[in-house]
Structure 1
Amino acid sequence: MVFSWKPKRLRTWFCGVLALALVGMLSGGCGSSLTVSPTPTLTPIRLPVGYIPNIQFAPLYVAIEKGYHRDEGLEITLDYSMETDNVALVGANTLPFAIVSGEQVLLGRAQGLPVVYVMAWYRDYPVGVAAPSGLGLRTPADLRGRRIGIPGLYGASYIGLRALLSAGGVPEEAVHLESIGFNQVEALISGQVEAAVVYITNEPIQLQARGYAVDVLRVADYMALVSNGLITNERTLRESPDLVRRMIRATLRGLQDVVNDPAAAYAISEKYVENLNQADRAVQMEVLKTSIGLWQQNPWGYSDPQAWENMVRVLREMGLINQPLEVTQAYTNAYLPREQP
């Protein structure tokens, strides 16, 4: 094993409470009274997404560009900082929402953070293991004894790998892990590693565009796990349930539009992602189309209870959760729109 350290636990710290206010106005004239309708006030929302501007966030760009959030009385600012404490910030009610992966919700709740997953963005866990086609990677059992590159022993990549190893009956000690950062493409092309943990919407597409045939083991083909979605906290659900419903409605409208017209969504995204208009359009469009194939549709935004149970089991096997945890409190489908398209 190359690694001797363990995955970092979510650091718990609490910040102040975000104050949201609506402003009313009443004016009167001498000798008469006149009620003036209040000027609509938008509720400002800073939404962390945990990554750099990217075509994968097209639903948010579309929803913002088309005014779907404003229709719901919300003013959205996307936060691209690589903030590791978004779960803690939402748990402390410093922020009302964030886009995070499902395992972070469970890790946060295991530490007492009252975060709740309210809208699934992805249906399928977007992680897999890629290898040159000549290696003969067909099933998770074929990973035994292989040199596998991975960004690190943390986050969705590591959890996805552990899920695949579990599905193949392969203990982690039976593979050779090598830290390669986020250089999976170069590491595979150069032969530094035999296989690499990848996001199936990214590196396999890049490799194929450069003429390298690869086989990919998708985590989702062997185990349903909870991936990225919208989270809030118990206080917001209790005190501002309508705010949660409005946020979900606007976001789902963006998702639906991208599914219905990827080309139009790509054009909108060019305004939000620097140099997207100069990138290889065929590659980036394939990234978008592959992402669409992973999103939760029918019904939109729905959380699969079995995926949550599977995620808890994987985290327990990894030793990241040791205490009792009521998984049904970590997510809810109750705030999704009743009328689905």
Structure 2
Amino acid sequence: MIMKRIVLFFVIILSVLMVGGSSAQTRIRFFLTFIPNIQFSPVYMMDTLGKLNNWGYDLQIEHGDEPVGVDLIATGDFDFGMISGEQVLMARFGQRPVVMVYNWFQQYPVGIVIPNTTPATSVEELRGLRVGVPGRFGASYSALTALLTVHNMSEDDIQLQEIGFNAPDVICTGGVDASVVYINNEPLQVQLRADKGQCGDITSVSVIRVADYANMISNGVVTSETMLADNPELVRVVVSQYDSALKKIIQNPAYAYLVSLDYVDSLPITDELRAFLQSAAEAQDEFILSEPTPERIAQSRDDLWVALSEQFEPELLIQFHVLLETIKLWEAEQLGYSDEAVWAQTAQVLVDLGLLPTLPDFTSAYTNEFLP
């Protein structure tokens, strides 16, 4: 009888400890710009994989304006966030000590899209032509400035027109001869309209990639100097789990799209497409077990796109196409790595634009210390 009471006592104690332990989740506030979008799939994947929960953390994703997000990360209101390198440099100059701990985009995602109705295929041939840009701010304007500088040109050599984030509409109505765009998105939108005969006389487009001439730091995982000093183990855990999520997406975009459906309400989907992607995701998991080379994985993505294109309409697949094009900008021999020369070029562009009065100490704006 005494032995039974002792056993019961320890069972009760163990149950209390287990319940207490399972509820003791530490919240991680993670900031994202814009609105929910397929391009944020690595963060959604990190949340879905659930490994942060196993470490005792609960990921809370919140969206907002980038300048506000930088301030909230610097003050510790947000623990981490997805912020551009330009914003990091400007924040640090303004005494807001934030640091990029994982370089998400290995290639700058901005370029110039030129329809085939425009008599130009190079930057030099854009002299005197109407070039659209969202505005004289942000990544698009910085990228255009860098691209023009490399070609010994300036804004005065083109007819710059501020068109907002409406490049497909403006291009298809003939409002500009070319436009600065995100190369993983708007060119696909313009081409889709052209294929449907809804883009005037335009039948095809070409793209000049800024990264081919002047690569700069784009978005990455950012935290505060206080977080680095006070809780480096949390930084290491978040970077490791983000890295795992990004690799999963690069290896299995079908699964990434399915995961993102729970986070992005506007993603196109039908029962048939969902079933196709589920089957493709399962087959890809089997394929990855064979430890294929990066080249074979890239080929498997191309094969998947061909198979999808043969069965579904382009409108239904547009966001999946965006995901595939975005993956190409993430890929690298070492994911997450920040290159000092690229940071230096980014800082110089900000000085050239007058956004910074002098060249900052950009080497303290990033760290590779926490990469897996």
TM-score normalised according to structure 1 size:
0.85
1:215 aligned to 206, 209, 225, which one? Answer: 206
> Does 1:242 pair with 2:233?
yes
Change (3 A) 1:304 1:281: farther
Return the letter of the residue paired with 1:113. Answer: R
* 1:195 alignment counterpart: 178
Residues 185-221 of structure 1 show CA distances to partners (whole Å, capped at 9, x for unaligned) of 0100001111111001110011112224111111111
* 2:34 alignment counterpart: 51
1:322 aligned to 339, 353, 357, which one? Answer: 357
* 1:275 alignment counterpart: 266
Distance in 1, Cα, partners of 2:51 & 2:140:
32
Deviation (angstroms), 1:325: 1.6
- Contact kept, 8 Å, 2:336 with 2:371, in 1: the verdict is yes
* 1:39 alignment counterpart: 21
Distance in 2, Cα, partners of 1:188 & 1:247:
41
Distance in 2, Cα, partners of 1:83 & 1:296:
24
SS state of the match for residue 229, structure 1? strand
Return the letter of the residue paired with 1:39. Answer: G
* CA root-mean-square deviation: 2.0
Deviation (angstroms), 1:269: 1.1
2:366 aligned to 312, 315, 331, which one? Answer: 331
Return the letter of the residue paired with 1:298. Answer: E
Distance in 1, Cα, partners of 2:92 & 2:38:
30
Distance in 2, Cα, partners of 1:277 & 1:172:
39
Distance in 2, Cα, partners of 1:314 & 1:97:
26
Deviation (angstroms), 1:333: 0.1
* 1:301 alignment counterpart: 336
Distance in 1, Cα, partners of 2:141 & 2:48:
35
Tell me the matched-pair count.
307
Deviation (angstroms), 1:273: 0.9
Return the letter of the residue paired with 2:141. Answer: Y
SS state of the match for residue 309, structure 1? helix
Distance in 2, Cα, partners of 1:71 & 1:228:
27
Which is further off, 302-311 or 82-91? 82-91
Return the letter of the residue paired with 2:34. Answer: Y
Residues 84-133 of structure 1 show CA distances to partners (whole Å, capped at 9, x for unaligned) of 31111111222221101111101111111111111011001101111112
Distance in 2, Cα, partners of 1:224 & 1:325:
18
Which is further off, 219-228 or 78-87? 78-87
Deviation (angstroms), 1:82: 3.0
2:90 aligned to 107, 110, 117, which one? Answer: 107
Alignment of 1:123-202 (within 5 A): 123-202=106-185
* 2:320 alignment counterpart: 285
> Does 1:263 pair with 2:254?
yes
Which is further off, 36-45 or 260-269? 36-45
Distance in 1, Cα, partners of 2:206 & 2:120:
6
SS state of the match for residue 306, structure 1? helix
- Contact kept, 8 Å, 2:338 with 2:368, in 1: the verdict is yes
- Contact kept, 8 Å, 1:117 with 1:232, in 2: the verdict is yes
Which is further off, 69-78 or 163-172? 69-78
SS state of the match for residue 331, structure 1? coil
SS state of the match for residue 27, structure 2? strand
Return the letter of the residue paired with 1:227. Answer: S
Distance in 2, Cα, partners of 1:288 & 1:324:
35
* 2:281 alignment counterpart: none
* 1:26 alignment counterpart: none
SS state of the match for residue 80, structure 1? strand
SS state of the match for residue 254, structure 2? helix
SS state of the match for residue 346, structure 2? helix
Identity of aligned residues (%): 38
* 2:348 alignment counterpart: 313
- Contact kept, 8 Å, 2:114 with 2:121, in 1: the verdict is no
- Contact kept, 8 Å, 2:30 with 2:62, in 1: the verdict is yes
Higher helix share: 2
Return the letter of the residue paired with 1:289. Answer: L
2:220 aligned to 205, 229, 240, which one? Answer: 229
Deviation (angstroms), 1:73: 2.6
Distance in 1, Cα, partners of 2:154 & 2:55:
49
SS state of the match for residue 116, structure 1? strand
- Contact kept, 8 Å, 1:204 with 1:214, in 2: the verdict is yes
SS state of the match for residue 130, structure 1? strand
Distance in 1, Cα, partners of 2:132 & 2:359:
33
Structure 2: give runs of 5+ residues left out of the alignment: 1-7, 196-202, 271-314
SS state of the match for residue 138, structure 1? coil
Change (3 A) 1:243 1:303: same
Return the letter of the residue paired with 1:303. Answer: S
Rg larger in 1 or in 2? 2
